[in-house]
Amino acid sequence: MVIGIMGAMPEEIDPILKRLDDVQKHEFADNVYYTALYGSLDLVIAYSKIGKVFSALTAATMIEKFGVRKMLFSGVAGAINPELKIGDLIAATKLCQHDLDITAFGHPYGYVPEGKVYVEANPRLLEIAAVAANRQDIRLKRGIIATGDQFVANAERKEWIGNTFKADALEMEGAAVAVVCDASDVPFFILRAISDAADMDAGFDFDAFLHSSSAKSAEFIFAMLDEIDQTQ
Ligand code: 3QA
């Protein structure tokens, strides 16, 4: 079973690569992909670069070129739901694109013909995550994640995204990965640790917590890999 592990930024995948031995490096389509073994699992790991286009390219490459059959995303996010504090983990139940807008034609925000506003995450991977969280006594929340090509550092924009999509957190890649995986029937799991609250302090908080929150997300990915390895 080949499992893909994606981040958007180097900081998001470095803590994963650090824990693996005999990592091989491959270059394809202007990006670097790392392969390694973890227990009985074949891993392909990459950071895509920031945003929906780069992350869609990386997800599609992992599936088509590297034979990925399960996709895990590890990274950080801005909180919308005030119950989410810096360092908290959230697993996406479903994802949407908050910057997709053809409302001029009477369609809802986040919708284009033949697409859907929300792409649902895989219930089995969410269940595996819940079991892994329980076993290791880690608090893992679930919620809706909104994705767009914007670093949100504005309370008004954040509230709008929260109200329009009932979103709990926001970031810049998850829904793109979800769309690609959904189209190819590859189960996916989008995990984020909160780095900021997408408000006027977001830039400052992001810089301060990128490393620690990325590490928390990466650590949980290993708890999940252990669970997947055992249940296979
Ligand atoms: C931000 C990263 C992008 O991959 C999305 C982090 C955390 N807080 C967010 C927020 N709004 C949107 N997304 C997020 N990730 C890229 S900009 C910083 C780049 O620094 C999630 C995320 N509030 C590079 C140094 O110049």
Backbone angles phi, psi at 118, to 5 degrees: -115, 135
State how many domains the chain has: 1
**Ligand 1 neighbour 12 (Cβ under 6 A):** no
Of 10, 117, 12, 145, the C-alpha closest to 73 is: 12
* Residue 188 pLDDT level (bands cut at 50, 70, 90): very high
pLDDT computed for residue 19 by the predictor: 98
pLDDT computed for residue 41 by the predictor: 97
Q: What is the mean pLDDT of residues 73-98?
A: 98
Of 108, 4, 2, the C-alpha closest to 55 is: 4
Is residue 42 predicted with pLDDT exceeding 80? Answer: yes
Domain limits for position 34: 2-231
* Residue 231 pLDDT level (bands cut at 50, 70, 90): confident
* Residue 212 pLDDT level (bands cut at 50, 70, 90): very high
E runs forming strands in 24-88: 24-28, 31-38, 41-47, 70-79
**Ligand 1 neighbour 77 (Cβ under 6 A):** yes
pLDDT computed for residue 53 by the predictor: 98
Q: What is the mean pLDDT of residues 87-105?
A: 98
Each residue's pLDDT tens digit, 119-153: 999 999 999 999 999 999 999 999 999 999 999 99
Ligand 1 centre and the CA of 171: distance in Å? 7
| Percent over 90 (pLDDT), the chain | 99
**Ligand 1 neighbour 6 (Cβ under 6 A):** no
Count of residues in the chain: 232
> Two tokens at 116?
């859907």
Catalytically annotated residue among 88, 168, 196, 205: 196
Q: What is the mean pLDDT of residues 149-175?
A: 98
What value does the mean pLDDT of the chain take? 98
Q: Catalytic residue at 12?
A: yes
Q: Return the residue whose CA atom lies nearest to atom 24 of ligand 1.
A: 9
Q: What is the mean pLDDT of residues 64-74?
A: 98
Q: What is the CATH number of the domain that holds 120?
A: 3.40.50.1580
Q: What is the mean pLDDT of residues 7-17?
A: 98
**Ligand 1 neighbour 193 (Cβ under 6 A):** no
> Two tokens at 225?
């890999």
Is residue 232 predicted with pLDDT exceeding 80? Answer: no
| 3-class secondary structure, 203 | helix
Contact 43, 35 (CB under 8 A): yes
